[in-house]
Structure 1
Amino acid sequence: MRRDAGFDGMPMQEASDEVLWNGVRDGIESDFSALFRRHNKVVYNFAFRSTASWSMAEDITQATFTGLWRRARAGSVDPLRHESAVPILISMARNEVLNATRGDQRRLRLVHKIEEQPRGDSNNVSHWLDQEAGMARVREVLNNLPENQRAVIELVAWSGLEMDECAAVLKIPVGTVKSRLSRARKKLATTEVSHLLGGDVR
């Protein structure tokens, strides 16, 4: 029986992340698909903000969920430690970002992506490139921060993780997360990024 329908055909309450995660651990494809539909956008957004590249974000999102399913099939997925699966998915995506191809191959991806666009879709291509250029500028500003401060900005301000969830991803105490976030916010308060992070960074 599907999780989203009762015996009388009426919709049931949406399954929690914990239920779906346990299903993934048991190799249930429908639960994996449901988890993907629920969280692929937050993983994708994190990847784009981390790379300033739509194509790399797509690859990283795919690699993150493919890696999760591969581990599930191998029986090596750990139990969920939080109510939400987002922290562990972001942690996996972050590892993919750190391993992502950079330099010339990244530029080649951009060229290939443009070449794939329909000829009559020039406005969409321009908008897409503007988005990448804007995020690249944000990355330039963030790159002036120490990596450990940049990480907490990406996880808390951008991905919406709670302090304890961020601490779990980075494997540091919650107090360290708070202090790094505070220092990062002070440094960013007078920059254009203070208005582009999508949240209060002051």
Structure 2
Amino acid sequence: MAASSNVTWHELSITKEFRRVQNAHHSFVIWFTGLSGSGKSTVANELAKELYKNGISNYVLDGDNIRHGLNKDLGFSEEDRKENIRRIGEVAKLFVDSGQVVLTAFISPFKEDRNLVRNLLEEDEFIEVYVKCPIEVCENRDPKGLYQKARNGLIKNFTGIDSPYEEPENPEIVLETDRFSIEECVEQLISYLTKRNFI
């Protein structure tokens, strides 16, 4: 579908900077990427609770939840996965403009797509978190039974089985969820955000 040429960008009367002042904190994206079962959503939600307790407005965008609504028209082909991440990037940018912290939990297997989102934002608005976990551990966890279905041929284009996962080359943070507890991972994130004056 071709983009319309009959649209005009409207400048907003209340800027991102004003919203940040009102909220009394910076706004940015924490982009959790990793294999299915690595712990992305779990860590993101625990971090969200910790930020909330500290008065930091935030929202979690979760891969499965987004596919129930905004992206329910997309499948799991490479093209659809790219479009899935592109849309999420645009939504995340809107959250940043609204002065909030947005935590996104998506496999987002392709470097190019993650970089596309990074480039939508300003330099201090994107934190890539690689939730690193060996596929054997992810398979043993398999909270949704997806690996078993993929191994049985019931799911096609499953990341790590018959579709590639491109590891981040220079993520801001690496969380090794096979070595550290969820609480320890959240502590690592809070320490990072505090030291760099994000919070």
**TM-score class normalised by the smaller sequence:** under 0.3
Task: Identify, as 1 or 2, the structure richer in helix.
Answer: 1
- Could you tell me the TM-score, scaled by structure 2's length? 0.27
Larger Rg: 1
The structure richer in strand per residue is 2
